[in-house]
Amino acid sequence: MFVTAIFILSFSGCKASHKGEPLGVVTPSPSVTTEGKSAETPQFDLTGIWKSSIFGEMKLRQSGNRVTGVYDCNDGQLAGVVERNRFVYDWWEQAPGRPYKKAFKTHRGDGYFDILKNGKRLKGKWRLEGVKKWGGNWQFSWRSNLRVKKIK
C-alpha cells in the first residue's frame, strides 16, 4: 500500500522527458500480445502526438493492431494492442529504451484506454503489476500527426 501511494504521487506530477526526441524502438511487453487474436483491421489509427495536462505529451505509433509509444512522465513507455474501441497496454517507466522486465516492479504495470470522440480522445486507467485495483485515471487528447522513424 505504501509503495502504491508513493508511485501515485510521483506519477501525478510528471513533466517532460521525451520532448523533442524521436520515437525509437519500444520493446513490446510480455503480457500484451496479439497471439491467438484475429487480424481484424482496427477502426482507429492512434499514430500521432497526444497531450495531457498532467502527463505531458505521448507519442504513439500503430502498425496493424499493435501500438507502441513513449510519454513524458518518468521516461514512460507503453506497448499493446487495439481491440475494437479499446487500447490495452503494458506501461513501464524509468527504464528508457529498455524492455518492460528491466523496469522495477514499482514502475510497471498494465492499463487500458477507451478510444473516444472518433479516435481523438483516450481515457482510461492504469495499475501496478500484480495489483488488482486500478491505481489511477489518465486521459489524452489528439494533438497532431507524428512523423517518426519506423518501429521495428
Closest CA to 88 of 42, 53, 52: 42
pLDDT tier for residue 146 given thresholds of 50, 70 and 90: low
In this structure, is the dihedral angle defined by the CA atoms of residues 85, 90, 96 and 98, taken in order, positive or negative? negative
| pLDDT at residue 54, rounded to an integer | 85
This prediction has a pTM of 0.74
At residue 16, does pLDDT exceed 50?
no
Give per-residue pLDDT as tens, 20-72. 444 444 544 445 544 444 456 678 899 999 999 888 999 999 999 999 999 99
pLDDT, tens only, 129-142:
999 999 889 999 99
CB atoms within 10 A of CB 141: 14
- Separation of alpha carbons 101 and 128, rounded Å: 13
Find out whether 128 and 135 touch, Cβ atoms under 8 Å.
yes
Q: Domains along the chain? A: 2-144 (2.40.128)
The size of the chain, in residues, is 152
Find the mean pLDDT for residues 84-113: 95
